[in-house]
């Protein structure tokens, strides 16, 4: 395996399948007596910057009403 200039390594498909690593899976590296191990974390997988905010808005407005607040009146 070769490390890129950005410090990236491709995890072989067979290893990803055994570990159940899919896109957006959070992993961590654990060290034990000078050996490092890849482990999946229990952190929830969040895809996209705003997914963790999904569903917390409390405004009782339609999308059109919200959009009209962001536009200048002509």
**pLDDT score recorded for residue 56:** 67
pLDDT in tens, 45-58: 556 676 666 676 67
Q: How many domains does the chain have?
A: 1
Q: Is 24 inside a domain boundary? A: yes
> Quick check: is 32 in a domain?
yes
Task: Print the domain residue range for 54.
Answer: 13-70
Q: List alpha helices for 1-74, DSSP H.
A: 13-19, 63-70
At residue 69, the 3 state secondary structure works out as: helix
Residue 6 within any structural domain of the chain: no
Model pLDDT, residue 72:
72
Q: Is 57 part of any domain? A: yes
Residues with pLDDT less than 50, the chain: none
Which residue carries 């072989």 as its tokens?
A: 12
Tell me whether residue 1 is in a domain.
Answer: no
């Amino acid at each position: 395996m070769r490390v890129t200039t950005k410090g990236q390594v491709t995890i072989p498909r067979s290893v990803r399948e055994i570990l159940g690593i899919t896109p957006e899976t959070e992993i961590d590296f654990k060290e034990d007596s000078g050996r490092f191990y890849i482990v999946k974390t229990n952190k929830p997988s969040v895809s996209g910057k705003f997914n963790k905010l999904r569903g917390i808005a409390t405004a009782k407005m339609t999308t059109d009403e919200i959009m009209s607040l962001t536009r200048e009146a002509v």
